[in-house]
Amino acid sequence: MSTRAGSQRGVGTASLRRQVGRLYTALVLHRRIVNVLGDSTAWIAALVLGLLFRYDFEVPGAAVRGLLVLVPLALAVQFLVGLADGLYVGRWILGSFEEVAALTRTVFVTGAFLAVLDLPTRLVPLSVALAAPVLALVAMAGARYAWRLQRERQRDPSQTAKPLLVYGAGEAAAQVISSLVRQPESPFWPVGLIDDDLRKQNLRLRGVPVLGTGAALAPVVERTGATALLLAIPSAEAAFVRDLSAFCLHHHLEFQVLPSTAELPGCRVGVDDIRPVTEADLLGRREITTDCTSIASYLTGKRVLVTGAGGSIGSELCRQLKPLGPDRLLMLDRDESALHAVQLSIEGRALLDGDLVLCDIRDEHRLREVFDEHRPHVVFHAAALKHLSLLERFPTEALSTNVHATERLLELSVEYGVERFVNISTDKAADPISALGASKRITERLTAHAADRATGEYLSVRFGNVLGSRGSVLPLFRAQIEAGGPLTVTHPDVTRFFMTVEEAVQLVIQAGALGRDGEALVLDMGEPVEIVEVARRLIAESGRSIPIEYTGLRPGEKLHETLIGPDETVSARCHPLISHVPVPPLGPARVRALRPTMGHGELIAALQRLASSPTSVRTDGPVGTVRPLGAVVDDHQAAPGSA
């Protein structure tokens, strides 16, 4: 008997819940009507309570009659003003700041109308007419907040979403948590926050509490049962992202991040911005602030030529230069398919028209035609051969493309009055031991020599490995994992610098505005990364058992790259991520003396000699003024291949 009674009570409870649910759904569907009725009720209650409080609950008949006149007027004005302000037409998100602002305006106008009306007539005491709007506003805003809170709690997160721990309790975390609890279809449900700021340890964001600092991350994960971790710090640097990624791999957590600050300039974040961690996050994430004012001064309204525009650096340069307002953006490359791709990425179409320039920079006659036709004001020289091992085997290609072509490009730039020339160099030019490094160091010295002769400013920009560029180690590792391995690493201790192509190009453009004649500007690449750790991380992410094979350093490779050579000193720093290094000039006559017909070893040795800086460099006078000691600046009579 008791079982049957219990069963009946259970059925009755379930039925009641269903009826309440249907009623709530109906209210949501008819929200506008409910808002009007609710606000009207709030005004009635506010005026009645104001009158009761004024007379200590002993209201005289005259005041009651005045109230009966004032209430309909208040409801009518509230409705008409609210309708005009979008309050009752579904213009605002429920309980949002915008809706509360509209509500405040409407109540203020209605209250002002009542006060002005009551001054000569004294329908109710003036204190009631002044206090009632405040009471009404509190009731209306409170009702909307309670309604929104109830809607957000309708979802059962245990069945539809993964429990998510959020690292960071700042503005980005507040936005993404609000987005998560608002959207029933979101894949995550926030169960706690982690923040290293001790002042935030009692903070709650939309009811989600801060549960500790990063030091307590492991016990918090165990206590909350979180299966995913979101890094909600867009400005986090790569080293911090790597540490959290390693933690998540060890504790079998799904690791998610928000885009970096550079990817979200002034934008709000939400559920759709949550994404898995990428190599760029792990190796190259950096918060960079670009001074667009100084950039515009040398690019806006100018004819800008980018060589190697189809490459990874050149194409990104074109994408970032286009919004800065050049008069013309001349995109030069010898690869027609690459030009097709870069035009498509910038303009959304690829008709191979406009300012595309098909040209091989090794063709001096064709290059002169380009300068004669377009007469650029600014040149970004990104065209180069860059695969170290291939150039070590074929140094004549390094000579023809990296050295001789750059020398001709500089000569034409000086001849045609180019105002600013930016030579894209590499970290391998610092203390070079390879044909690639030596050839790029020579281009830095040739650029410094051109700076002495030209009326404009000629400088070089030096940085390391760019994520996503052709030949990058990361696509190689992923391809090897896909093929079943092994992953090939040259040495267990080898390290390299990494930066995303977007960050590198931002700093290149900034360097073009800050650099002084003849300098090499060196981009801060952060801390070097152990390549074997990158390989292990990718293997762990793949969930497969794949061996790592050490192949040994190849000719010309360094165990650890450097950004500044041992004989170089930083002369100034006008940007926190850009260092200025003086470069000793090298006359073009000594470069022209090198011939592709030279023997392999002889040519590499000659490149090394020309790349070597003078043994003594003095930097007197203004920053960036370089005065080599001895007759080494421009020795046009030097013997072929001599240093």
Catalytic residues: 428
DSSP state of 612: S
Contact call for residues 157 and 186 (beta carbons, < 8 A): no
Contacts of 411 (CB under 8 A, 6+ apart): 450, 588
Please, what is the end-to-end C-alpha distance for the chain in angstroms? 107
For the chain, what is the largest distance between any 2 Cα atoms, rounded to a whole number of angstroms? Answer: 116
> Shortest CA distance to 39 belongs to which of 151, 133, 123?
133
Contacts of 317 (CB under 8 A, 6+ apart): 306, 309, 380, 382, 505, 508, 509
Half-sphere exposure (CA, 13 Å, Cβ side) for 434?
A: 27
Sign of torsion over alpha carbons 37, 38, 44, 48 = positive
Residue 25: how many other CB atoms lie within 10 Å: 11
Residue 212: how many other CB atoms lie within 10 Å: 17
Distance from C-alpha of 319 to C-alpha of 345, rounded to nearest angstrom = 8
**Token reading at 376:** 């650029």
Question: Cα Rg for the chain, rounded, in angstroms?
Answer: 35
Sign of torsion over alpha carbons 196, 202, 203, 208 = positive
> Shortest CA distance to 445 belongs to which of 608, 587, 624?
587
Angle between helices 97-121 and 126-152 (to 10 degrees): 160
> Shortest CA distance to 580 belongs to which of 499, 524, 500, 496?
524
Contacts of 167 (CB under 8 A, 6+ apart): 193, 194, 195, 214, 217, 229, 230, 231, 232, 233, 244
Distance from C-alpha of 115 to C-alpha of 117, rounded to nearest angstrom = 5
Q: What angle do CA 596, 599, 601 make, to 5 degrees?
A: 115
**Cα dist from 122 to 45, 49, 72, 77, whole Å:** 19, 17, 16, 19
Distance from C-alpha of 322 to C-alpha of 480, rounded to nearest angstrom = 37
> Shortest CA distance to 522 belongs to which of 585, 472, 459, 567?
459
